[in-house]
């Protein structure tokens, strides 16, 4: 990683836009600009099937005019068109209802940084079409070694994003970031059925990606493990939720932490700050400065300087996700309105260790649909995975539903792995829950 700062075209454009707004009489505004270049390369069954290249610009202005607020987005950056767009935007904003809680964050929160986290991979400019093709074809070849494989589609995408925010409260921040994704989806034969599974990895640097051969083999191993899956009778089970799937479960729970849901009375965690809301094994932190994570950032969408946030400490609720607006409405201190990187520290051991001693349980390898109600905490999710018998993996399961309520479910957390999933901004370890209600046949 290069620690050097890169001139941000996005920041220059945000500065210019803010000037244009000032000339138009708008003195409270935030401008966010994203300029990106991305390439996607796809291979299927030994051949390149898709090549896609894209350069994209997106400019959003958040306007605070006479106590009124609106946001406006455009991709058309030609000077005359941009000027006309801003004039329309200001006129529309003036027509809304005034709201005393609408304002930019106070100046002390404004981010002033350029590439504070060094998220740009110096190897990025050297990546060419041949490198991209070689990577997907290697993944593809490794995924099709087994005769049970019907088809596999491997994908490599790389992106270079220049993101900047300038605002009238003094915010002036930018970050240039690269990201890569490499993986494949594999389909195998199983009578009339064609079970599928996938393995995708993400990284900020090309060197940080898992080896293509390992990726292809992992996806195929997972797809073959799905062969013969069926449902078991309904019952209460000890569940081990694999790290890859755990992010999905926690993402539903996180909805109840959002300022908008709290203020609009749609959260089961309303009024629970300081209360015990989960097993003491649950500690959750938002960690924006973890540079290797896909969620890394030095400022948030409102231009506030990012800082670590303790959400839950040993089962006790410590903080919510509060953006500036809902913090004003709730008369609380703003934290940040959105997740960066979520971590759950304190666990140890791998899946085998977590399964040891479980007489009869289920390993959940992925969820299938389902949803959650942030007001009541009720959730119900389709699951697939493997049976656990006497501490060891047994046959594959599918077509079953896990149903519970977040207020009681997280109290049954009785094991946490030391295996945070590195390919997501939700870096969840594998989790063990006791006595979960699973419906099947």
Partner 1 sequence: MARRFDPFTVDRRQFLGLAAAGGTALLAQPLLSGQLLAEPAPQKAAFGIPVEDLQAVMAVAMARGGTFADLYFERTRSVSLSLEDDKISRAYTSSDLGMGVRVVKGDAVGYAFSEVLDLKAMKQAAATAAAIADGKRDGKPATVQVAKLPKYYDVDYRFAAIDLAKKKALVQDVNGQIRKKDARILKVNVSYADSDREVLILTSDGLLAHDHQPMMRLTAACVAEQGGRRETGSYNIASRHGFDLFDPKTVTRLCDEAVRRTVGMFEAVTPKGGEMPVVLGAGPSGILLHEAIGHGMEADFNRKNTSIYATKIGKPVAEKFVTIVDDATLPDARGSIHVDDEGTSGQRTVLVDGGIMASYLHDRISAAHYGLKSTGSGRRESFRHVPMPRMRSTYMQPGPHRKDEIIASVKKGIYCESFSNGQVNIGGGDYTFFLKTGYLIEDGKLGRPIKDVNLIGNGPDTLSKISMVGNDLLIDEGGWTCGKNGQSVPVSQGMPTVLVKSLTVGGAA
Contact status: 437 vs partner 1 (CB under 8 A): yes
d(CA 50, CA 73): 30
Residue 430 near partner 1 by CB under 8 A: no
Burial of 66 (0-12, 13-18, 19+ CB in 10 A): exposed
At 344, list the tokens.
């759950």
Q: Given the complex with partner 1, which of 61 and 172 has the nearer CB atom? A: 61
| Residue 368 is a binding residue for partner 1 (CB under 8 A) | yes
One of 7, 276, 314, 371 touching partner 1 (CB under 8 A): 371
Contact window for partner 1 (CB under 8 A) among 4-12, 70-78, 208-216, 274-282: 70-78
* Contact mark string toward partner 1, 379..418, x via CB under 8 A: xxxx-x-------------xxxxxx---------------
Q: Tell me: does residue 195 bind partner 1 (CB under 8 A).
A: yes
| Interacting positions 276-295 with partner 1 (CB under 8 A) | 294-295
Query: Which stretch in 113-121, 192-200, 309-317, 346-354 sits in contact with partner 1 by CB under 8 A?
Result: 192-200
Count the site residues for partner 1 by CB under 8 A.
Answer: 104
Stretch touching partner 1 by CB under 8 A, among 63-71, 284-292, 350-358, 407-415: 63-71
Q: Which of 95, 130, 147, 331 binds partner 1 (CB under 8 A)?
A: 95
Distances (CA, A) of 322 to 87, 325, 344, 353: 31, 8, 20, 37
Nearest approach, Cβ of 124 to partner 1 (angstroms)?
18
CB 441 within 8 A of CB 263: no
Residue list 3-42, contact with partner 1 (CB under 8 A): none
439 contacts partner 1 (rule: CB under 8 A): yes
For residue 7, what are its two tokens? 């001139």
240 vs 355: CA distance, rounded Å: 7
Q: How far is the CB of 253 from partner 1 (least distance, A)?
A: 13
Subset of residues 323 to 352 that bind partner 1, contact rule: CB under 8 A? 329, 337-339
Q: Which stretch binds partner 1 (CB under 8 A): 88-96, 103-111, 166-174, 282-290?
A: 88-96
Among 97, 108, 130, 274, binds partner 1 (CB under 8 A): 97
Binding region for partner 1 (CB under 8 A) out of 16-24, 105-113, 230-238, 304-312? 230-238
Among 4, 47, 126, 331, binds partner 1 (CB under 8 A): 47
264 binds partner 1 (CB under 8 A): yes
């Amino acid at each position: 990683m290069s620690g050097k700062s890169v001139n941000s075209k996005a920041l220059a454009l945000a500065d210019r836009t803010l000037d244009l707004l000032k000339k138009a009489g708008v003195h409270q505004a935030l401008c966010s600009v994203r300029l990106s270049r991305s390439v996607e390369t796809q291979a299927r069954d030994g051949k390149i099937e898709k090549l896609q290249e894209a350069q994209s610009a997106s400019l959003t202005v958040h306007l605070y005019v006479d106590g009124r607020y609106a946001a406006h987005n455009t991709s058309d950056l030609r000077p005359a068109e941009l000027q006309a767009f801003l004039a329309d935007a200001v006129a529309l904003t003036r027509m809304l209802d005034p709201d005393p809680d609408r304002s930019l964050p106070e100046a002390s929160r404004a981010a002033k940084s350029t590439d504070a986290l060094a998220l740009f991979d110096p190897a990025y400019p050297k990546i060419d079409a041949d490198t991209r093709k070689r990577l997907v074809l290697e993944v593809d070849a490794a995924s099709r070694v087994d005769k049970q494989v019907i088809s596999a589609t491997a994908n490599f995408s790389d992106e270079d994003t220049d993101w900047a925010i300038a605002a009238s409260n003094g915010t002036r921040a930018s970050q240039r970031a690269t990201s890569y994704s490499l993986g494949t989806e594999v389909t195998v034969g199983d009578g009339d059925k064609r079970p599928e599974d996938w393995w995708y990895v993400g990284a900020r640097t090309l060197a940080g990606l898992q080896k293509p051969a390992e990726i292809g083999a992992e996806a195929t191993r997972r797809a073959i493990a799905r062969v013969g899956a069926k449902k078991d009778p309904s019952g209460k089970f000890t569940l081990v939720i694999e790290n890859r799937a755990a992010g999905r479960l926690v993402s539903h729970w996180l909805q109840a932490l959002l300022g908008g849901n709290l203020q609009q009375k749609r959260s089961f965690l309303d009024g629970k700050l300081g209360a015990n809301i989960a097993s003491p094994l649950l500690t959750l932190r938002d960690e924006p400065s973890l540079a290797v994570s896909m969620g890394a950032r030095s400022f948030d969408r409102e231009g506030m300087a990012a800082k670590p946030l303790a959400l839950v400490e040993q089962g006790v609720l410590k903080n919510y996700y509060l953006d500036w607006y809902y913090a004003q409405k709730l008369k609380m201190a703003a934290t940040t309105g959105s997740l960066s990187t979520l971590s759950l520290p304190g666990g140890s051991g791998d899946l085998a260790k977590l399964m040891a001693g479980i007489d009869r349980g289920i390993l959940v390898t992925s969820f299938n649909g389902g949803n959650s109600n942030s007001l009541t905490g009720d959730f119900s999710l389709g699951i697939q995975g493997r049976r656990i018998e006497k501490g060891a993996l047994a046959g594959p399961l599918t077509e079953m539903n896990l149903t519970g309520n977040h207020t009681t479910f997280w109290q049954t957390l009785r094991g946490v792995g030391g295996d945070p999933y590195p390919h997501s901004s939700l870096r969840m370890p594998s989790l063990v829950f006791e006595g979960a209600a699973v419906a099947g046949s």
